Amino acid sequence: MSRCCAAVCVFSALIHAAGLTPLDPPEACLGVGCSRKYRAAAETHEYDFKTWMSQHRKRYDGIAEYRHRLQIFTQNQRRIRLHNAGDHTFKMGLSPFTDLTFGEFKKSYLLREPQNCSATAGNHLVGSGPYPDSVDWRKRGNYVTPVKNQGNCGSCWTFSTTGCLESATAITRGKLLLLSEQQLIDCAQAFNNHGCDGGLPSQAFEYIRYNTGIMTEEDYPYKGVYDEKAMVDAVARLNPVSLGFEVTSDFMHYKEGVYTSSVCKNTTETVNHAVLAVGYGVEEEGGTPYWIVKNSWGPTWGMDGYFLIERGRNMCGLAACCSYPLV
């Protein structure tokens, strides 16, 4: 075996230790021993890929597209295994998006342009407390609708809006209704929303508030929340709260645990996704405080469509872009 091939195979062994195996053998390593290992690794990756395709009902147009998606899948699978081998507060896993690059994912599932939340002033009146150590509106009664799926459209802001309003209405009026995201996509453009290209729940609440014939100002006044203590107060006393934050590439692979990031920003200018905080709590091991959040990427992503994100540090700007209606 050549010195070059031996070096590559040693490197390959280190990669295998973390469960990270390249899809194709490098040109420098064509010996029988090395190529056999790489072929076995490639077969394993392809088996995983086909299993994943069956689970998520994926189909591709032609062998070239299939090989391209297999390569992206393998790269993402490597990243997931490397992350899970480290010391992190959350786990990654295969998701419906594992065959996409982050650029493709952003284009299809996040807001097309980052939304600036700073234009709407917060006016939430904080109660006197004390507050429970944990809150989960899913366990308090029939107050949260099932996880929905926004599909290939940057309309997360509409799902955050309807989810918040659905819960607020159920809490105050005792009836859980499924509200229309499509109406917001079609009709709320005058309030600086852009359908599948993005928008904000706070601006959608303004549309609902002023749109004659659907919601009146008296029925649905808007309140903004702009710090996490006020968010705790709102979720504990009133109802789930809509929030926006910045999604970075590791979040698309989230599986479980308390999500934290040193990459995302905590400002109002970089928000690219909107979701619904339905509760909060504290980890039994480690004591990390977190939010319980409902997403709009279907129930096969994350924790049955939900995720946990660290509370108390304005993680990824979540406290800078929160809102809810009073019903």
User: d(Cα 62, Cα 150) in Å, to the nearest integer?
Assistant: 27
Closest of 250, 248, 249 to residue 86, by C-alpha: 250
Out of 76, 193, 239, 295, which one is annotated catalytic? 295
- Please classify residue 273 by burial: count the beta carbons closer than 10 Å to its beta carbon, then call 0-12 exposed, 13-18 middle and 19+ buried: buried
For residue 295, what are its two tokens?
């997403």
Which of 104-113, 150-159, 206-215, 243-252 has the lowest average pLDDT? 206-215
Sign of CA pseudo-dihedral 242, 246, 247, 251: negative
Out of 156, 164, 316, 322, which one is annotated catalytic? 156
DSSP state of 198: -
Sign of CA pseudo-dihedral 9, 15, 18, 21: negative
Considering only CA atoms, give the Rg of the chain.
Answer: 22
**Residue of 73 and 179 predicted with greater confidence:** 73
Could you read off the pLDDT of 48-74 as tens digits, one per residue?
999 999 999 999 999 999 999 999 999
Closest of 146, 136, 97, 92 to residue 256, by C-alpha: 92
Could you read off the pLDDT of 295-315 as tens digits, one per residue?
999 999 999 999 999 999 999
- Annotation marks residue 123 as catalytic: no
pLDDT for residue 12: 44
User: d(Cα 91, Cα 257) in Å, to the nearest integer?
Assistant: 6
- 327 CB neighbour count, 10 Å cutoff: 18
Report the half-sphere exposure of 181 (CA within 13 A, side-chain side): 23
User: d(Cα 54, Cα 16) in Å, to the nearest integer?
Assistant: 26
Could you read off the pLDDT of 69-105 as tens digits, one per residue?
999 999 999 999 999 999 999 999 999 999 999 999 9
User: d(Cα 270, Cα 170) in Å, to the nearest integer?
Assistant: 32
Amino acid in position 88: H
Interior angle at CA 205, CA 214 and CA 313, nearest 5: 155
For 182-207, b/e burial (b = at least 16 CB within 10 A) is ebbbebbeebbbbbbebbbbbbbbbb
Displacement of CA 269 from its chain's centroid (Å): 18
Q: Answer yes or no: are the C-beta atoms of 73 and 98 closer than 8 Å.
A: yes
- Annotation marks residue 316 as catalytic: no
- Annotation marks residue 321 as catalytic: no
Out of 273, 316, 321, 322, which one is annotated catalytic? 273
pTM assigned to the model: 0.76
Residue showing tokens 């096969």 = 300
CA dihedral 308, 309, 311, 313 (to 10 degrees): 170
